[in-house]
Structure 1
């Protein structure tokens, strides 16, 4: 499994045990004791010695009636345990976003390699065309050099794109723990839309503040710190406990020429113990100051996280809204770049355009395809990040995005590209 998620799960189990331990301090305790002693006594100037044997066994118990520190510690541990639940939920959301990011990186790398292969094939065709025109005296040597330079650059771009794709696949394998194949990508006719219930940014920010699991965890940690302050102050308060015991004891012995034994003795006791602290060397006051500083740190962390969440939610919303327009603009840019490239090709054949014009339009088309692929998957990622910010990233949201991926991603690559 994912190490970050496993760490959050382990932390949750750890904090649950802290709550159990804090509760145990308020429950009755019961102990059993048993002793067996033998003593040998001798006197100076007197021959012989005496031996005495004694045994004792019993049970004792104690129940806390009032201990403010222990009560406050239990409240703190309960809050910390709840915070760990939300930390685990936040780690789950983070895993979804990290997985989606890594998955989309592979899809972008696939489309980038596809565009690079198309660009390389076009550059090779252009170079061969310029070379043939040179042979029959219809093109200058400079056209061949321009076409050759473009072809070499296209080959380098393909090599780089192939390496980038291999690394993206490896990153996805690292995250999932197993090789991944058969990836699905967005179809060519994909048109992004604003998800339902995502139209009011102020309402989204309000939802984020009340529902984001990471912020809720931090709020609970502030509550736990408040209880820790109360626990530290409890060091000034008296404690009261109820205790009781039951036991039996007996002894017997022998001396020179004689032996003796006494009857068994049973002892029962019950009582209250009141402990009133007067002075602890300043330790209690120090504990209070320390707890107050820790509480202030937790409150400052909460405020910082709240402000960051506000900004991140607004940024994610703007990214989704802007992404809708950007994807359409990038799509039109590809259409325009393709038209310009086709026109320059025709112009070159009839003598109204130069090889340099074709090369420049080919480079523009290649970059437009890369930008279009990146914009489409950035939109999907921004959509997931917005849901994560407002605490609405669930299975249904992931399934909605997954339903958009309908095309076999690797089908667009040239044969042998994955080897």
Structure 2
């Protein structure tokens, strides 16, 4: 549509040619009072009716040509149309890049939901084991009834968490289906051996500078300002003169007959052939204030576009800095989350051993289990967020390509659904 706008604006600078053709028929009768020689009085006259009839046909052909020699508004409209076409292309690029990040984020949301459900089911199973053990220990007199109540409360809470996690997974799958248009099953996830790598030798400011120069959404805002400035020039052109060259050729042929009362019909044939050339200078003097009002409106739109550009520039800089910092901290966070899982698992094992010898309570073990499963979920989410932040940084810089999406896709080699199958 934007490209068509350029063609329409350019058309005003090109010759305008039109042709006309017509065929008309005219049939009529007329009566008038005329003077006639008086046959009874030589030299005298008498008054009487004079009737006549006509039957003619006319064929007309013509060609007209108009060429604008100077109209400043035509050039400024063309400039505005070109800026709008470039803006539309930049917005298309921005939408494509945003879609890539959106798909990746939604996909990893599904993977995170899968990990969360697997952890919730594992926690439910562990809580059920603790409940069974507490009931057994109660029967043999090795545990108080409070241990059973605490274990049952933990089991009920874990079961509720598993139900909620399953609902979140279904919603995450629906969100992915909404984007892709088809149900997505059999998803692949990151291998357990995946280690995030940050290979950046440029630094934060270099990324910000690149984003300010290449971000397509920011470029679109700049082009919108260019179009608004061209519209201001168009509005001001209402004060300027215009000069047009026009010309034409026409050919008209008439044939038929005219007959008067008491006389034989006589032909009424004629032919006209001519051409004309004209130069028209139009100098505006006063238009009732319409031009001034149009200029004020165009200036207001230009100022709004300038404000939007500045707002977009600040937003792009902030998004780039945030994505860079998140990515820089992401690798360290993933490692910290991995160590947290290891530590939580060790604490759980120690708590279970302490429960056997009586130095730990069932509450201690239940809390340790919750810590382990929460750490596992946070570890999975940190790995997923790292890859999303990597894509988001490239999107903010304006250089996200399908190859970047494919590179992330190649990292998805493990069966993400396997963890769910193992906890059913």
**Aligned counterpart for 1:202 among listed residues 193, 200, 205:** 205
CA distance in 1 between counterparts of 2:245 and 2:417 reads: 74
CA distance in 2 between counterparts of 1:297 and 1:111 reads: 47
CA contact (8 A) 1:41 1:51 kept: no
**Aligned counterpart for 2:194 among listed residues 190, 196, 200:** 190
**What displacement does 1:415 show?**
5.7
Matches within 5 A, 1:358-373: 358-373=365-380
**Aligned counterpart for 1:58 among listed residues 57, 62, 65:** 62
CA distance in 2 between counterparts of 1:255 and 1:297 reads: 74
CA distance in 2 between counterparts of 1:380 and 1:238 reads: 60
**What displacement does 1:161 show?**
1.1
1:43 aligns with 2:47: no
**Aligned counterpart for 1:404 among listed residues 382, 387, 411:** 411
Q: Over alpha carbons, which structure has the higher Rg?
A: 2
Matches within 5 A, 1:166-245: 166-197=170-201, 199-245=202-248
- 2:420 maps to which residue? 413
CA distance in 2 between counterparts of 1:122 and 1:133 reads: 16
- 1:134 maps to which residue? 138
- 1:265 maps to which residue? 272
CA contact (8 A) 1:25 1:70 kept: yes
1:106 aligns with 2:110: yes
Root-mean-square deviation (Å):
1.5
CA distance in 2 between counterparts of 1:38 and 1:177 reads: 65
**What displacement does 1:364 show?**
1.4
CA contact (8 A) 2:190 2:413 kept: yes
CA distance in 1 between counterparts of 2:110 and 2:349 reads: 30
2:183 alignment partner, SS class: coil
1:414 alignment partner, SS class: helix
Worse-superposed segment, 297-306 or 235-244: 235-244
- 2:364 maps to which residue? 357
1:179 alignment partner, SS class: coil
1:96 aligns with 2:135: no
CA contact (8 A) 2:188 2:413 kept: yes
**What displacement does 1:271 show?**
2.4
Q: What does the per-residue CA deviation read over 1:177-210, in whole Å, with 9 as the maximum and x for residues that have no partner?
A: 011122111122222121445x411111000000
Q: What does the per-residue CA deviation read over 1:11-66, in whole Å, with 9 as the maximum and x for residues that have no partner?
A: xxx21111111111111111111233334251344334334433321111111111
CA distance in 2 between counterparts of 1:415 and 1:360 reads: 23
CA contact (8 A) 2:52 2:258 kept: no
- TM-score normalised to the size of structure 2? 0.92
Question: What runs of 5+ residues in structure 1 fail to find an aligned partner?
Answer: 1-13
CA distance in 2 between counterparts of 1:354 and 1:315 reads: 44
CA contact (8 A) 2:330 2:382 kept: yes
1:384 aligns with 2:391: yes
CA distance in 1 between counterparts of 2:61 and 2:406 reads: 67
Cα distance 1:326–1:170, how it changes in 2: closer, same or farther (>3 A)? same
CA distance in 2 between counterparts of 1:133 and 1:343 reads: 19
- 1:19 maps to which residue? 6
How many residues get paired? 403
Question: What runs of 5+ residues in structure 2 fail to find an aligned partner?
Answer: 33-48
Worse-superposed segment, 40-49 or 360-369: 40-49
CA distance in 2 between counterparts of 1:337 and 1:187 reads: 21
CA distance in 2 between counterparts of 1:416 and 1:115 reads: 8
Q: What does the per-residue CA deviation read over 1:119-146, in whole Å, with 9 as the maximum and x for residues that have no partner?
A: 1111111111111110101110001111
CA contact (8 A) 2:30 2:53 kept: yes
CA distance in 2 between counterparts of 1:155 and 1:36 reads: 90
1:123 aligns with 2:127: yes
CA contact (8 A) 2:29 2:52 kept: no
